[in-house]
C-alpha cells in the first residue's frame, strides 16, 4: 500500500519540501508505470477535462482548467499574450481583402473570410489587432521625463478604437493617412494657482495641470476622418493613467500617431494585460495540530487557508481553503511544525488569471485563444496528412 501511495503521489502531485521541490516532471507516459494504462484515450480525456469559471469582475477573469499537461497550459497562456485569434469581423474591413465571398461584418457565413480560410492557417490578419501609439512627435517637452521615456509611456496606453475601421500601415511609410492612422495630441502646461493659501503645501492646491493624465490626450482627425467617423469616440481606455508630473513653467506638447498591430509585433498591441497560471495548492495535515501549535500554524499561511475550530475545549487546526495559499513555505522554519504538514500542488489542475487591457472583455479573449489553439492543432494534422508516406 505504501508503494502504491508513493506512486500515486509521484504521478499526481508536485511536492514542496524544505530544501527543494519533488516530482517536478510529468512521468505518466505509456510504459513508465507497471499496472497503469497511460496510453492516450480521447474518451478518458473528455471525462477528466473541465473548465470552471471562478470569478469574473470587470476586466479580470479567474478560471480553472483541469485535466491537461503543463505544455498545453503554457501554450494557452502564450496564445493569450500574443496570438488572440480573429472573431468574425476582425482583421479586415468588409470586402477590403478582395474576396468575392467576403462576409465580414455581415453576421453570416464562415468565421474567417475565404482568402484567410484558404490559407489553411492563422496568419497576421487572423489575430485580434489593436491600435497603439507608434510614433511620437515631440514639439516641446520641458518636464523631467526624457523624450524617450515619455514616448514609451505613451505607447503603452491602451486606445479605445475599433481596429476593423483601419488598415495596417505599410512597412516604410512615414506619413500616416486617414485609413491607417489615428492622431492624438497632448498639449498641457503647468501654472501656479494665485488663489492658493500661502501656508498650503499641497500641489493640488498650489498648481494647475501639474498631473498629466491620459484624459488629456485628444483626438485630432486626419484627412476626412471627421466625415468617415462622425460618431467616433476615439480615446484612451482609461482616463486616469498618470503620464508625467509638472511644475510651473513646464509643458508637454506632442503629437502621436496610432497604428494597427498585433501582440507578436509588440507587447503594446496585446489586448491582454496579464495572463498567468499556477497549480492548485494541496495542503495536508499529517496529524492533529492543537492549541498553541494550531495558532502558530495559522500564521504560517495566507489568511483564510487555515482555520481554528473549538472541539471539546481544544483549538484544532484544519485546512479551510488551500487555494488561497501562495506557498511561502514559512512552516518549514518551525521545527515543531515542519514534519506535521505536507505541501503539494495538484499536477493537472491549473488556476488561470487573465486581465484585459479593457479593449476586449476577458471572456472573449479566453474563448478566442481556445479557437486559435484548435486551429493550430488542425493545421498540424493537415501538415501530417500532406506528407507522403513511403
User: Other C-beta atoms within 10 Å of 318: how many?
Assistant: 13
Cell numbers standing for residue 218:
485628444
Environment class of 226 (CB within 10 Å of its CB; exposed 0-12, middle 13-18, buried 19+): exposed
pLDDT digits (tens, 9 = 90+) for 172-182: 787 889 999 99
Task: Read off the pLDDT band of 96 (50, 70, 90).
Answer: very low
Tell me, what's the pLDDT at 90? 42
Q: What is the pLDDT of residue 390?
A: 65
* Contacts (Cβ under 8 Å, ≥6 apart) of 128: 84, 85, 86, 87, 90, 163, 262, 271, 360, 365, 368
Question: How high is the pLDDT of residue 123?
Answer: 47
Whole-angstrom CA distances from 122 to 115, 118, 358 are 11, 10, 24
pLDDT digits (tens, 9 = 90+) for 301-326: 999 999 999 998 899 999 999 999 99
CA distance 13 to 4: 14
Task: Quote the pLDDT of residue 278.
Answer: 95
Residues 276, 217 contacting (CB under 8 angstroms): no
When comparing pLDDT for 31 and 132, which is higher?
Answer: 132
Contact 268, 295 (CB under 8 A): no
Q: Is the pLDDT score of 4 beyond 60?
A: yes
Nearest to 151 by CA among 137, 163, 139: 137
> Is 151's pLDDT higher than 70?
yes
Average pLDDT of every residue of the chain: 85
Q: Cell for 386? A: 500532406
In the predicted model, what is the mean pLDDT of residues 327-344? 93
Position 100 scores a pLDDT of: 34
Least confident of 74-88, 136-150, 157-171, 343-357: 74-88
Summarised one tens digit per residue, pLDDT across range 375-387 is: 889 999 999 998 8
pLDDT at 191: 96
Greater confidence, 263 or 144? 144
DSSP string, 22-51: E--S----TTSSTT---S--HHHHHHH-EE
120 has a pLDDT exceeding 50: no
The residue among 189 and 273 whose pLDDT is bigger is 189
Closest C-alpha to 246, from 311, 190, 316: 190
DSSP letter (8 states) at residue 169: P
Average pLDDT for 196-218: 94
Nearest Cα residue to 269 out of 73, 97, 84: 84
- Scan for cell 504538514, then name that residue: 341
12-34 tens-digit pLDDT = 999 999 999 988 888 878 888 88
More confident residue, 371 or 93: 371
pLDDT, residue 290, reads 92
Q: Is the pLDDT of residue 81 over 70?
A: yes
Amino acid at each position: 500500500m505504501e508503494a502504491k501511495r508513493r506512486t500515486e503521489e509521484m504521478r499526481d502531485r508536485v511536492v514542496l519540501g524544505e530544501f527543494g521541490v519533488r516530482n517536478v516532471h510529468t512521468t505518466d507516459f505509456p510504459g513508465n508505470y507497471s499496472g497503469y494504462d497511460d496510453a492516450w484515450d480521447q474518451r478518458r480525456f473528455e471525462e477528466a477535462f473541465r473548465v470552471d469559471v471562478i470569478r469574473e469582475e470587470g476586466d479580470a477573469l479567474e478560471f480553472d482548467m483541469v485535466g491537461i499537461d503543463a505544455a498545453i497550459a503554457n501554450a494557452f497562456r502564450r496564445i493569450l499574450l500574443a496570438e488572440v485569434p480573429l472573431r468574425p469581423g476582425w482583421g479586415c474591413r468588409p470586402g477590403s481583402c478582395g474576396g468575392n465571398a467576403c462576409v465580414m461584418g455581415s453576421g453570416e457565413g464562415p468565421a474567417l473570410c475565404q482568402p484567410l480560410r484558404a490559407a489553411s492557417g492563422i496568419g497576421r490578419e487572423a489575430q485580434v489587432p489593436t491600435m497603439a501609439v507608434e510614433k511620437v512627435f515631440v514639439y516641446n517637452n520641458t518636464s523631467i521625463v526624457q523624450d524617450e521615456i515619455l514616448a514609451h509611456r505613451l505607447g503603452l496606453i491602451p486606445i479605445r478604437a475599433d481596429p476593423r475601421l483601419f488598415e495596417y500601415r505599410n512597412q516604410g511609410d512615414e506619413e500616416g493617412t486617414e485609413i491607417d492612422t489615428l492622431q492624438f495630441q497632448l498639449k498641457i502646461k503647468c501654472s501656479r494657482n494665485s488663489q492658493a493659501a500661502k501656508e498650503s503645501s499641497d500641489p493640488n492646491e498650489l498648481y494647475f495641470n501639474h498631473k498629466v493624465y491620459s484624459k488629456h490626450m485628444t483626438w485630432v482627425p486626419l484627412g476626412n476622418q471627421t466625415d468617415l467617423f462622425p460618431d467616433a469616440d476615439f480615446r484612451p481606455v482609461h482616463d486616469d493613467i498618470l503620464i508625467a508630473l509638472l511644475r510651473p513653467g513646464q509643458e508637454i506638447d506632442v503629437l502621436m500617431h496610432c497604428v494597427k498591430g498585433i501582440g507578436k509585433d509588440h507587447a503594446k498591441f496585446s489586448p491582454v494585460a496579464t495572463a498567468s497560471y499556477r497549480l492548485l495548492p494541496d495542503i495536508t495535515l499529517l496529524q492533529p495540530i492543537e492549541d498553541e501549535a494550531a495558532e502558530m500554524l495559522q500564521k504560517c499561511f495566507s489568511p483564510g487557508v487555515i482555520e481554528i475550530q473549538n472541539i471539546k475545549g481544544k483549538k484544532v487546526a484544519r485546512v479551510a481553503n488551500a487555494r488561497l495559499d501562495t506557498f511561502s513555505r514559512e512552516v518549514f522554519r518551525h521545527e515543531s511544525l515542519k514534519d506535521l504538514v505536507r505541501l503539494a500542488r495538484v499536477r493537472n489542475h491549473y488556476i488561470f488569471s487573465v486581465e484585459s487591457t479593457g479593449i476586449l472583455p476577458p471572456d472573449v479573449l479566453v474563448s478566442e485563444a481556445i479557437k486559435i489553439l484548435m486551429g493550430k492543432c488542425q493545421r498540424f494534422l493537415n501538415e501530417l496528412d500532406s506528407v507522403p508516406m513511403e
